[in-house]
Structure 1
């Protein structure tokens, strides 16, 4: 359990990419948003238009798919988007760019609604979940104000695990998905659709 109290957060995953559709591991590599991914960003924009974001920082992963999503959402205030490399997706090492179908997972696949977490935990030469958790803790502890975070699927799960004070396996129980907004306030988590 975390002993830190974090500001209010809206956590977003980038929209669908060409590699999401193809079943290819992205990690730190680039893949452009699809038309559906851009529409998912517009859905997130409509969700956030119903929220008072006065005083919120807008922070995005610098990776193109996340930053493109952030710009689609906050086009009128794009100059206010700050990037932070701590929000990058988990590094999947030698598995970056590889098709999921050609990769082998050992033991429990750790299935979620977004697929098996084990791909990211077992990636050869990858960052791993312990290092990702440390990176997410460092990022969240640095926040001085409420924030909208535009990031990636696995990093989103880990940020929410840390902010909610959950153990690592809490990643399995958290919802995923694109085109939604995850809201965390006072230790409570909700999915805005």
Structure 2
């Protein structure tokens, strides 16, 4: 009975709603270059994708909740977040930056196409595919390490409503950590640039961004 009384006085768990946004298309996306934690600017298409994401969010977000807008500090994500912020009427100074949202580091592969990787590091891509969860590119990180970052970010995500601008591989890791997916299930996730992912109640919902 004493324990029941104590439970009655325990504050209820706060409901946390998260929307994951991937940065808009970049010059290196177009060229097929691995970005990792290097950077390239948004294309004109990428700018419009970011604006469309902001407009879509402005229509669907619950009006009764204040929005926390958080972004990876990498330039392509920051530029996307600033465009989203305009549509959500959030000032640039109110955009939070978290290194935990940075893209999965690809070390020596960053800036290279798959052809260039194969020329410089013969057999490396095949070795990575054989154990993608644990493989570490020289100077980079494994998906297992990226998943740990994702868990740390989620643990600190306590606001009732957060919009997070991140990257495809990191979004994959966040989705996997959030829903307690296996490594294989996590690696099977994706994040196209015309999608948002809503994380709510332990479930993940994919949302197609309406362009107008």
Between the two structures, name the one with larger relative contact order (CA 8 Å, sep ≥ 6).
1
Matched, 1:183 2:198: yes
Residues 119 and 171 of structure 1: CA distance in aligned 2, closer, same or farther (over 3 Å) = closer
Matched, 1:106 2:126: yes
Q: CA deviation at 1:96?
A: 1.0
Partner residue of 1:52 out of 49, 56, 62: 62
Alignment size in residue pairs: 183
Matched, 1:159 2:165: no
Residues 24 and 93 of structure 1: CA distance in aligned 2, closer, same or farther (over 3 Å) = same
State the TM-score, normalizing by the size of structure 2.
Answer: 0.79
What are the within-5 Å matches in structure 2 for residues 20-169 of structure 1? 20-50=29-59, 51-52=61-62, 54-75=65-86, 76-77=89-90, 78-104=92-118, 105-106=125-126, 109=129, 118=132, 121=135, 123-145=137-159, 146-169=161-184
Higher alpha-carbon Rg: 2
Q: Distance in 2 between matches of 1:130 and 1:172?
A: 11
Give the 3-state SS of the residue equivalent to 1:58 in structure 2.
Answer: strand
Q: Distance in 1 between matches of 2:15 and 2:183?
A: 18
State the TM-score, normalizing by the size of structure 1.
Answer: 0.86
Contact 1:16 1:40 in 2 (8 A): yes
Ranges in structure 1 where 5+ consecutive residues have no aligned partner: 111-116
Structure 1 equivalent of residue 5 of structure 2: none
Contact 1:60 1:87 in 2 (8 A): yes
Q: Distance in 2 between matches of 1:6 and 1:89?
A: 27
Q: Distance in 1 between matches of 2:80 and 2:134?
A: 22
Q: CA deviation at 1:187?
A: 1.6
Residues 120 and 167 of structure 1: CA distance in aligned 2, closer, same or farther (over 3 Å) = closer
CA RMSD of aligned residues (A): 2.3
Structure 2 equivalent of residue 9 of structure 1: 18
